Structure 1
Amino acid sequence: MAGSPDELHMRKRLRKINTKTTAEEKTATGTTKWEGEPVSPAGQLFHEPSFNCHIISIFGLGIPINNVDAVIEGLQATLVRHPRFSSIPVLDESGSKKVLRWRPVEVNMKDHIIIPSLPSEPTSPSSNDQLVEDYVSSLSLTTMDRSRPLWEFHIINIPTTECAATAVFRGHHSLGDGMSLISLLLASTRQSDDPTKLPSLPPHRAGPLYVLPRPEEGICAFLLWIFSFVVLFWHTLVDVVLFVATTLFLRDTETPLKGHKGMECAKKQFVHRTIRLDDVKSVKNAMGCTVNDVLVGVTSAALSRYLYRKHCETKDEKKFPRNTRVRSTLLVNIRPTPGIHALAEMMEEGKTDAKYGNRIGYMMLQFPIVIHEDPLDYVRQGTAIAARKKNSLEAIASYFNAKLIVKLFGTKALTLHYQSYMNTMKVVMAVDDSVISDSHQLLDDFVESLSVIRTAAEKLSKKN
């Protein structure tokens, strides 16, 4: 299937699926053969008419994809064998309550592999960067046909400054959350030197999000154990109250990062920048914190730098506005991350033991918007913020109110992702360019902020 970005916009809108049961579909017990597991509550939310929620993943490839048949064969042997990728959500009206369920269907791979028509004349890799960026952004405005499984691969065989070709995966959010899909896609790959082996990955969290410590012997240790429960309860209560306050009256400061009402459905521009993971780790080691703590600090520094410049462009005074409130909803995986071996077995043998789907909670994170003389103060603040959030059940509590939270916050003018692989880390942003027209400048602020913080961390290490 081929089509230009403009042609993709002209695809037919979703059509209604006939879900009535025929006589041939009835089994001896009176149930239907296709009746599968219900779509999760979060997955059903993403199917509401007001949402057009997809996950888009971009893969840089070392060589062009000249053998599309090999790609189809590989997907048929892996991804298509997963129940979610060979089913469609249908409305089961047979009972007293309407339930959205997954129904297995035949997968026609030609419907899911898209090779767009792009300029045939060779252009420079730098200009191709913009071409790929525009193409991927066009996907944010199109929907997928719900009469077939809700996923697709786009193959873009043009060289960019970072890769020889690009593959773009787009899947409906009801297929799973980001962690599930990344794990599943990696489980569909094999090592280049040994096609029989799965890729080697760092250890992942195999247990629940929050585990209460066991009490140690002694009255003092027992009292500290009781106190940890009190602190956990208090922090969770405060976080829930802040959510309620946000619902009623607590609003963020009007800044260039805040979008207008209704922009959730506007076109998104996907931009990214590569940074060195070693730079992040050097700050982590110097500060005695975690990678996530460093990233919170870098984000605070970059947003402060961006907003300070915007403020100086529009105001006469150079003084930075105080008490600027900029908050973000941080998505948290609240179930053990499925290992790629478990997911590979699920696809190869039809097992369903691996936990998969949409089980995400939310944390509301306020980024300090301030200009620090010492760049390491951003990391110190980030460490304190992360430590406070780790000692709260906010993510678990918000999971049960996901529908309310998504409707309250939605997808705003700026969505930020950090994705690490090998020794690199990608800073990826989805922005509404009618609100943030200089997204590449904002990426520069992230790179510069990390550079300044790393330099300060190196000086601190030499002193110690």
Structure 2
Amino acid sequence: MAPTQELAIDVTNYSGEGPPAWEWEEPVSPVGRLFLEPHLRCYVVCVIGLGAPVDLPALRDGLQATLLRHPRFCSLQVMDESRKASRPKWVQTTVSLDDHVIVPDLNPTATSAEADRAMEDYLSSISTLPMDHSRPLWELHVLDFPTTEAAAALALRMHHSLGDGASLMSLLVACARPAADPTTAPPTLPTAAATRRAMPTRPPVSAMLAWVISTLVLAWHTVVDLVCFVATASSILRDPPTLLKGTEGVEFRPKRFVNRTLSLDDVKYVKNAMNCTVNDVLLGVTSAALSRYYFRKTGESVEKSIKVRSLLAVNLRKTPGLHTLQASMMEPGKADGAKWGNQLGYMILPFHISKHDDLLEYVREGTKVARRKKSSMESVLIYKSPVTVMKIFGVKAAASLYYNLFTNTTLVYSNVVGPSELLVLYGHPVVYIAPSVYGLSTGLTIHYQSYMNIIKLVLAVDEAQFPDAHDLLDDFAQSLKLIRDAA
């Protein structure tokens, strides 16, 4: 992981009276600038399922006392003309909640007869709407009607330049309270437990030899991955066209967001049985599900095996420093170099579309791929490469590099760790958290979001390409069940 600083974004000690007590300016980060380019204009959509109907006054008061205390959510992007080459920067502005809290007027017949479909249709509709850049780049849509899993929902839509999934999750946790005792400080996100086995003590010579070998392996894997990255970014290496791969112009078409609740206990059961990690299991489940879907839809021989590649988003902040919420509000000049926003690298991660009689083979393959990728600096280099290209050739060249990465691979994959305890957000119990994105040149985006004892699987699909997205969700659920049974 890259040696970045801890995330300092707490919003706990503000009374909610008056505007923020600072004037704030900051350049838009290099990755944030990339997401401003027309063919990379990416947005986050995070649906928060609630266990109670929305109390709108309490919601507005809570936003005023928390979210509006964060500089990014009360700032505009404006061009800094003081530089030789003008660049966008964040500049504080006055925020009116009426511009950002949206209560849509939906057909009550549709929301009562087919509530889940009505929510999907509404979320799909907002993926076609532009965002007003004359105000801070976020909106909170209040969907105050019951669905299968929740009594109501909030849908946060924001421009990706505001922050990545890890930033958003930390901010959400900072705004919430544990349901067990809402008067206490915000809950913390779980940190990755150590998974390394205890190594026997080695003589100094053996220890030095092991270090040299591991360093050489790291260097070799990094070189190989760098060559693959350059070949993909320059369009020399492309995934073959399959029914999973997006077609030209997919980034401008509306997306449908569908989700399914999976059991975190089932995933952990497989993890413990196979001595691997939760992420390894999810990689295996994803490969199994995509294989089921592919062979059912194409009718091709089950003996066939193809490889598709995904871009796996990797958080480059410290763990556990990423989720440490400081005791005071983040202020310019007092954050000690804290890194909020977009601190994401990517790994080019292969998925094998194949049929295995032993379903645990999917998990073994996922574990093998994950361990290989951990022995590489690929994600750091992919994060830094567009920054370097931008400095030398400009933002257009860097954006073209990123665009080719998404276009020449098949899907985007992400796995974000969430709180392990029940949250209350402005007096509303949080039932689930379902984040996703749209605006990328890929037909399929897969997000896993853990929360309490569940994992939310969220798919963002091009509906023209995946009209049967719920069947694909079934494939994921069935694959996990079969793998769990096999374990």
- Structure-to-structure mapping, 1:365-404, within 5 angstroms: 365-402=349-386, 403=398, 404=400
Q: Of the candidates 74, 80, 83, which is equivalent to residue 92 of structure 1?
A: 80
Shift of 1:34: 6.3
Backbone CA RMSD of aligned residues: 2.4
> Is residue 421 from structure 1 mapped to residue 410 from structure 2 by the alignment?
no
Measure, in 1, the Cα distance between the counterparts of 2:24 and 2:454.
Answer: 44
Measure, in 2, the Cα distance between the counterparts of 1:192 and 1:103.
Answer: 35
Q: Of the candidates 29, 45, 59, which is equivalent to residue 34 of structure 2?
A: 45
> Scaled by the length of structure 1, what TM-score is found?
0.84
Residue of structure 1 equivalent to 2:11: none
Could you list the per-position Cα deviations for residues 354-387 of structure 1 after superposition, in whole angstroms to 9, with x for gaps in the alignment?
4211110010011011100000001111100000
Residue of structure 2 equivalent to 1:78: 66
8 Å CA contact 2:260, 2:473 repeated in 1:
yes
Q: Of the candidates 245, 253, 258, which is equivalent to residue 231 of structure 2?
A: 245
CA change 1:349–1:121 in 2 (3 A) is farther
CA change 1:36–1:202 in 2 (3 A) is closer
8 Å CA contact 2:189, 2:323 repeated in 1:
no
Measure, in 2, the Cα distance between the counterparts of 1:115 and 1:169.
Answer: 12
Measure, in 2, the Cα distance between the counterparts of 1:229 and 1:248.
Answer: 30
> Is residue 449 from structure 1 mapped to residue 467 from structure 2 by the alignment?
no
Measure, in 1, the Cα distance between the counterparts of 2:179 and 2:306.
Answer: 49
Q: Percent identity?
A: 51
CA change 1:35–1:156 in 2 (3 A) is closer
- Structure-to-structure mapping, 1:269-288, within 5 angstroms: 269-288=256-275
> Is residue 113 from structure 1 mapped to residue 101 from structure 2 by the alignment?
yes
CA change 1:227–1:325 in 2 (3 A) is same
> Scaled by the length of structure 2, what TM-score is found?
0.80
Q: Higher relative CO (CA 8 A, sep ≥ 6), structure 1 or 2? A: 2
Residue of structure 2 equivalent to 1:227: 213
Measure, in 2, the Cα distance between the counterparts of 1:350 and 1:342.
Answer: 17
Equivalent position amino acid for 1:181 in 2: L
SS at match of 1:345: coil
Could you list the per-position Cα deviations for residues 22-44 of structure 1 after superposition, in whole angstroms to 9, with x for gaps in the alignment?
xxxxxxxxxxx967211100011
8 Å CA contact 2:39, 2:403 repeated in 1:
no
Equivalent position amino acid for 1:103 in 2: V
Measure, in 2, the Cα distance between the counterparts of 1:252 and 1:340.
Answer: 35
Higher alpha-carbon deviation: 243-252 or 327-336: 243-252
Residue of structure 1 equivalent to 2:25: 36
Shift of 1:139: 1.5
Q: Of the candidates 136, 150, 153, which is equivalent to residue 166 of structure 1?
A: 153
8 Å CA contact 1:306, 1:445 repeated in 2:
yes
Question: Where in structure 2 are there 5+ consecutive unaligned residues?
Answer: 1-21, 387-397, 407-439
- Structure-to-structure mapping, 1:18-29, within 5 angstroms: none
- Structure-to-structure mapping, 1:125-164, within 5 angstroms: 127-164=114-151
8 Å CA contact 2:24, 2:332 repeated in 1:
no
Q: Which runs of 4+ in 1 moved over 6 A?
A: none
Measure, in 2, the Cα distance between the counterparts of 1:68 and 1:188.
Answer: 16
Query: Which structure dedicates a bigger proportion of its chain to strand?
Result: 2
Greater Rg, structure 1 or structure 2? 1
Could you list the per-position Cα deviations for residues 103-130 of structure 1 after superposition, in whole angstroms to 9, with x for gaps in the alignment?
00001011110000012348546x1000
Aligned positions, number:
412
Measure, in 1, the Cα distance between the counterparts of 2:185 and 2:289.
Answer: 37
Question: Where in structure 1 are there 5+ consecutive unaligned residues?
Answer: 1-32, 208-212, 313-317, 458-464
Residue of structure 2 equivalent to 1:28: none
Measure, in 2, the Cα distance between the counterparts of 1:121 and 1:370.
Answer: 44
Measure, in 2, the Cα distance between the counterparts of 1:422 and 1:252.
Answer: 36
Q: Of the candidates 400, 404, 410, which is equivalent to residue 408 of structure 1?
A: 404
